[in-house]
Structure formats: C-alpha cells, structure tokens
Amino acid sequence: MEDLATLHEIAAALAGEQLRPSLQEVLLILARKGGISRGAITIVNPSSGEIRIEAAYGLSPGAIQKGRYKPGEGITGRVIETGRPIKVPMVSKEPLFLNRTGGHSSAKGEESFLCAPILRGGKAIGALSVDRPFDPGFDLDRALQLLTVIAAMVSRLVAHIEALQWEKEARQEESRRLKEQLKDRYSISNLVGSSNKMREVFQMISQVCKSSATVLIRGESGTGKELAASAIHFNSERAKGPFVKVNCAALPATLIESELFGHEKGAFTGALRQKAGKFEQADKGTIFLDEIGSISLDVQSNLLRVLQEREFERVGGSSTIKADVRIIAATNRDLEKAVEEGAFREDLYYRLNVFPIYMPALRQRKTDILLLADHFLERYAKENKKDIRRFSTPAIDTMMQYHWPGNVRELENCIERAVLLCDGGVIHSHHLPATLQTGQESDTMPRLALEEAVSRLERDMIIDALKSTRGNMAQAAELLSITPRQMGYKVKQLKIDFRDYR
C-alpha cells in the first residue's frame, strides 16, 4: 500500500514539463516516503557518453560536480553499461564502490546501495540510485523492484523532454541554415537586399563579373554605386589584381589628366619626377571612375581613346602604354541631358553605356529597409561592443515611413548614431534622428512634433514593457514605475491592446 502511494506521488511529480525540477521532486518523495539518505538520477550524454548527475538528494553541490563517471566505471557505470539493476546490501564490503561523491563514510554507519537503470529502447540512458541506512530486516529486493518501476517512469519523461529538445535544436538549425542561404542569395560582397529590384542588380552583377566589359553604374547618391563596383571587381577574374578608385569630381580639371595617365618629369611646373597614373596602377585590375559625369571635354577625349584602343600616353610623354584594365564608371548625373547640352561626348557616352546598372533608390525598395537596418545594426553593435539585438516595432514603423532622400548611406548613418545613443538591448524610435519622426511632409513643420514624439516614445516603452511581461499590465506598470491606473489610462489613450502581447 505504502509503495502504491509513493508511485502515485511520483507519477504526479513526473507530469511536469521540466526535467530537473521533476527529477528533484522524485528524489524528495523517495526521501520522505522511502527513508533514503541520499539519491541521484544520472543521465548519459548521448554525444560524449559521459554520465552526469542530473538531480540529487543529500549530496553537496561539490559532490555533484565530482559525480561524473565514464560508462563502466563504478556501480552506476556498471548498471548503465549492462542495463541491469544492482543492489549492494553493505557498502563497506563492496570493492566496486568508487565512492566518487564521498558520501559513504563509515562514520555514518553501514549503508545499503541500490541502483536501477533508466531504460529506453533496451538501452540504458541513465540510472536512479539511492543509499539507505543498513537494516538487516529491510526487504532490499522489493525496494529494488520499486526503484526499477520508478526508473521506467522517469524514462518516459526524459524521452519526452529530449524529444522536445531535439525538435528545438532541429528548428534552430533549420532557421540558421535558411538565414545562411538567404545571406548567400541576397548579398554579394556586403551588398545587401532581397527586393526584386536588388535581385535584378545582383543578376546583372553576376553576369558582368565573368567578362571584362566596361560597366556604367547609375543611381542617386548613397545607393551603393561604389559598393557595386567593388563587388564586380572582387567577384571577377581580376579580383587578385588592384582595384583603383578615382573620384573625378574631387580633382581640379588641370590635375585629372596627370592623375589618370601619369606624367613625365618636367611635363609641367611641379612635375619633379616621373609618375605613374591610375591607369598604370590598375594594370591587370579594375579602375573605378567615380562621378564620371564631371570630367572635362579634354579628358573625355583621352578617356575615349583608352576605351577604344586600350592605350594612352603619360602627360608630356611620347611612348604609348598598353592598358590591361577593366573600367567601371559611376555617376548620379543625367548623362543623356549632359550629352544634349554638349557637356558630355556622345561617343564616350555610348562607349561607357554598354552595360549600365541602375542602383534603385531606397524608397523604391522599401522591403530592403529592415534587412539593411539589421545588417548595419549587427555591424555597428559589434564595432562598438554593444549587445543590441533588435529594433522596437515603432522604430521599424518610423524607418518604413520615411522617404530616405540620402538612401542607404543615410540609413547607415542613422543606425550608427542610434547604436551610439542606445544603452539597452533595443533601438527605439527616439534613438532615430528627429527628421525621421516628423512625418512624410518635410516642407511643413508639424505643430505637434513634440507631442507626437513623446507619444511615440510612450508607446514604444509601454509595448516593450508589455512584451517582456507577456501582456501583464500590473507588472508592466511596475517596470515603467507608473501606477496600474496610469497604465490603464495610457494604454487606452494609445490604443494598445495588452492581449496582443500575451
């Protein structure tokens, strides 16, 4: 009868979803009802084969630490290896006793030891062992039988929990793999995007990579033209060669010629020695001519010659130099208009425009905003050694609503700044610049800017508190240091439904 009551209690303890607390409870019941002085439930780690104490009664934490066995070692190891229960009526007479956990001292008097395997599919996945004070009148066989039954009950819970654990790990693995795949598919050399427009860009880039064709990259400021140019170079056969950048707009017209083609000593005042130009430096690699729309007509004709004949001369020089260079040019200007106005040579325009790639503006590919924001968050959080994981929902809304005239560069700057300002784990909308918060009409200064910003912040913080308390209004109020009454009022005012966060 006594046994049955014990089993009943143990069954109830094992109904839990958590392994360790349930196992702990089993041992406590055995202590209370079965008079054990110590007990342990050990589980085999399936990958290392090591046996670890998962729950214990009457053992110090240090003893638990030490209680690691290899299969076959000691009595617990033996039980797990053979899958058969063992009883040791008198511990002091048993040579196999390893006494790892240091509990069996003779000072406490003679003890008996019982150990039953936790079996699953005919194999032992662990063991349940107990010590009890030696008592010649006690029926050890019956106790061992009971222990075997309990071990079988424990096995069911362990199996169930392990299945859950496996499932969880499998899910995590799957999502990691998917993410990895997405990364491959949606980015080339740090150029991030999953929108249709960006996929077209990736497609074009991977096509043109294989050849040495001249490429013209077009797009607004900050759309990633330079990044695209380097992606082409570093994914082409010239990747091992140099990638030389020239910003044509940054150089005065008088210097650009010598910058590009080099000069001989004494070619002009100040030309103290011979100098190789960018085209020579880029030999067997790629030259990136940024802001090509701003070069003068003189330089345009020399450039045309390089494009047509693949050769040039240094300024003030007479020998012809061969150029083994791939040319990538970029501009945010309207070249067609410049051609019409006579500011850009038409023949050069056609030479350059053989393979144009248009970088879409960020407002034309809103679906990329989050992907890019995450990308920059990861980068700048790492750079600044901050553990910032995500954006709050209102911050995301703010970013999605903005029109991004400065494109990806502007977004990148915003995130970098937000990371610097943020001192929690989440970027909130108040970490984003005020220009993003004032709505779409940037020409009309909204009268309610402050009020609007404040309620955004309030909303942000309340939603976050509700998320972390799983929709518990009272706890959320406490987190925010306001009264439940104030909380109720705010939630109503801001039209937040706490049930959304349960």
Interacting residues with ligand ATP between 136 and 155 (CB under 6 A): none
CB of 312 to ligand ATP, least distance (A): 25
Q: Which among 224-232, 320-328, 379-387, 427-435 is the span making contact with Mg ion, rule CB under 5 A? A: 224-232
Give me the half-sphere count of Cα atoms (radius 13 Å) on the Cβ side of residue 349.
16
Q: What is the torsion angle, in degrees rounded to the nearest 10, for the CA atoms of residue 26, residue 32, residue 36 and residue 42?
A: 10
Residues 225 and 234: beta-carbon distance below 8 Å: no
193 binds, among ligand ATP, Mg ion, none (CB under 5 to 8 A by kind): ligand ATP
CB of 462 to ligand ATP, least distance (A): 33
44 binds, among ligand ATP, Mg ion, none (CB under 5 to 8 A by kind): none
Residues 6+ apart with CB under 8 A from 426: 388, 389, 390, 391, 392, 464
Residues 6+ apart with CB under 8 A from 37: 31, 58, 108, 111, 131, 132, 133
226/458 with CB nearer Mg ion: 226
Residues 214 and 355: beta-carbon distance below 8 Å: yes
- The pair of structure tokens assigned to 469 is 């308390």
365/456 with CB nearer ligand ATP: 365
332/353 with CB nearer Mg ion: 332
Residues 6+ apart with CB under 8 A from 230: 189, 243, 288
Interacting residues with Mg ion between 47 and 66 (CB under 5 A): none
366 lines the binding site for ligand ATP (CB under 6 A): no
94 lines the binding site for Mg ion (CB under 5 A): no
CB of 233 to Mg ion, least distance (A): 14
- What span, in angstroms and rounded, lies between the C-alpha atoms of 381 and 431? 14
SS3 string, 67-95, reads: CCECCCCHHHHHHHHHCCCEEECCHHHCC
- What span, in angstroms and rounded, lies between the C-alpha atoms of 48 and 70? 9
Name which of 120, 201, 198 is nearest 159 in CA terms.
120
115/329 with CB nearer Mg ion: 329
CB of 413 to ligand ATP, least distance (A): 9
CB of 427 to ligand ATP, least distance (A): 18
Interacting residues with ligand ATP between 280 and 339 (CB under 6 A): 332
25/226 with CB nearer Mg ion: 226
CB of 234 to ligand ATP, least distance (A): 14
The amino acid at 447: R
CB of 239 to Mg ion, least distance (A): 20
Other CB atoms within 10 A of residue 426 CB: 16
245/467 with CB nearer Mg ion: 245
Interacting residues with ligand ATP between 401 and 440 (CB under 6 A): 408-409, 412
Q: 465: helix, coil or strand?
A: helix
100/278 with CB nearer ligand ATP: 278
CB of 472 to ligand ATP, least distance (A): 39
226 lines the binding site for Mg ion (CB under 5 A): yes
Name which of 336, 357, 262, 345 is nearest 307 in CA terms.
345
Interacting residues with ligand ATP between 180 and 199 (CB under 6 A): 190-193
Contacting positions for Mg ion (CB under 5 A):
226
Contacting positions for ligand ATP (CB under 6 A):
190-193, 219, 221-227, 332, 372, 375, 408-409, 412
